[in-house]
Amino acid sequence: MKQIIAICLLVASLAGTLPAAEKPSTVIHVVTIKWKDGTTPEQIQKALDGVNTLAQMYPGIQRIWTRALKVQGPGMTHAVVMEFASEKGLKEYADSAAQKKWYEVYLPIRAESITHDITN
């Protein structure tokens, strides 16, 4: 539970401050990542660069964050955040051409990941 709260606070700090009364209807998709042993910094950077291109490939993604300031969890070293326009956009992203293209680079080097999807 502490990890989820920390991730929510991280996302809020990265997204900027919102007025207390505002509750966005977008969906925040947070993925914490543990890489396979032997994964090089260049491979990790290529996977993170791939996340940055997802918004160009999939119109349902509004914002991307790839520079994690703090990541919790055993072996987890990186986190990425995608902001989707809606729950429908998140659901349609699964198995989309954009996700499959990114997975070509990401899945071969991913040992484990934990995903959190958050909205109002």
Angle between helical axes of 41-57 and 97-106 (0-180°, round to 10): 180
> Which residue is associated with the tokens 């290529």?
46
- The closest alpha carbon to 11, from 91, 110, 118, belongs to 118
Q: Are 90 and 76 spatial neighbours (Cβ–Cβ below 8 Å)?
A: no
At 95 the pLDDT is 95
Token pair recorded at residue 92: 């349609």
For 69-114, write each residue's pLDDT tens digit.
999 999 999 999 999 999 999 999 999 999 999 999 999 999 999 9
Does 13 score more than 80 pLDDT? no
At 64 the pLDDT is 97
- Give the range of the structural domain holding residue 69, as residue numbers without chain letter: 2-118
Which CATH number characterizes residue 100's domain?
Answer: 3.30.70.100
pTM summary value: 0.80
**How many domains is the chain built from?**
1
b vs e for 59-96, b when ≥16 Cβ sit within 10 Å of the residue's Cβ?
Answer: ebbeebbbebeebebeebebbbbbbbeeeebbeebeeb
For 33-80, write each residue's pLDDT tens digit.
999 999 999 999 999 999 999 989 999 999 999 999 999 999 999 999
Does 16 score more than 90 pLDDT? no
